[in-house]
Amino acid sequence: MPADLCPPYAPFFGFAGVASAVTAGAAFGTAKAGIGIAGLGTFKPELIMRSLVPVVMAGIIAVYGLVVSVLIAGNLTPSKGYPLAAGFIHLGAGLSCGMTGIAAGYAIGHVGDSVTTSVVGMILILIFAEVLGLYGLIVALLMNTKVTALVDVCN
Amino acid sequence: MSDQIAAAKASEQAASRAALIKLVFFAATLIILPISSYFFTEKYVWSGNSNYAAITAICAANIVLIAYIVVSVMEDKQSFKDAEEKKISETKKER
């Protein structure tokens, strides 16, 4: 029974979860917003600080992905018996954070590209785009709490 | 006339250097603070519970973000006021 529940290829899914949590969304958001900011910087250099808010928000999305990766990697125990169910849970957690990160980074990039004159409006829209990534992180955290119950399955 | 232009250029350079230092400070804080707070609180505050440590790290990252937004909005208001004062002084000179 334990050999069925803890096959040797189970850590593959866990580490795939760690790798998929690190987002490409933040890169897209930074790049797209940076195009708009570079255009603005030549005409109005005094607006640099507030036009970099989208870039900082894309950085926060990357921090979400990093924290989920560190969290999942800390709970991986491939040497002490790692159930396949825990591998799937970790894969799901990583994917949920990574894909919502891509969605949030996409939204932040497009909003940051069209830099408007109204700071407050832009920040409000960016906050709504950012909480998409936060929801993915919360789902990933919720999924990760289920793994602690599976610790003794392999013995 | 030329020393006015030189003074304006010097103040502009000083302003852009101050902005650069602020940006570098926020970037460094955003890199260092969340991940260090994760490991620190996991070891010493939450006694091994990594989920609470992750929540602490996310709160730290959001605090840095809110601080950046507040600083940039305040600077925006300040530069708007400076531009208005400059416009008023220029119209006074033209008279």
pLDDT confidence of residue B50: 86
Q: What is the pLDDT of residues A130-144, one digit of tens each?
A: 999 999 999 999 999
Rounded CA-CA distance A56/B29 in Å is: 11
Res. B6 pLDDT band, cuts 50 70 90: confident
How close are the terminal C-alpha atoms of chain B, in Å?
18
Predicted confidence (pLDDT) per residue in A82-98, tens digit: 899 999 999 999 999 99
> What tens digit of pLDDT does each residue of B39-92 get?
999 889 888 888 899 999 999 999 999 999 898 888 878 877 877 888 888 777
Between positions 136 and 155 of A, the ones with CB within 8 A of B are 137, 141, 144-145
Q: Which residues from chain B sit within 8 angstroms of residue A90, using beta carbons?
A: none
pLDDT of residue B95: 66
Checking if the pLDDT of A149 tops 70, the result is yes
Q: In chain A, which residues have their Cβ closer than 8 Å to the Cβ of B30?
A: 56, 59-60, 63
Q: What is the mean pLDDT of chain A?
A: 87
- pTM reported for the whole predicted model: 0.86
Give the span between the Cα atoms of A21 and A94, in whole angstroms: 4
With tokens 């005409």, the residue in question is A43
Query: Which comes out higher in pLDDT, residue A51 or A89?
Result: A89
A2 in contact with chain B, both atoms CB, cutoff 8 A: no
Residues with Cβ within 8 Å of A47's Cβ and at least 6 positions away in sequence, in order, are A40, A41, A115, B76
Res B64: pLDDT: 94
**A146, two tokens:** 């289920």
Contact A59 B30 (CB under 8 A): yes
Tell if the CB–CB gap between A52 and B16 is shorter than 8 Å. Answer: no
| CB within 8 Å of A101: residues ≥ 6 apart | A21, A23, A24, A25, A26, A61, A62, A64, A65, A133, A136
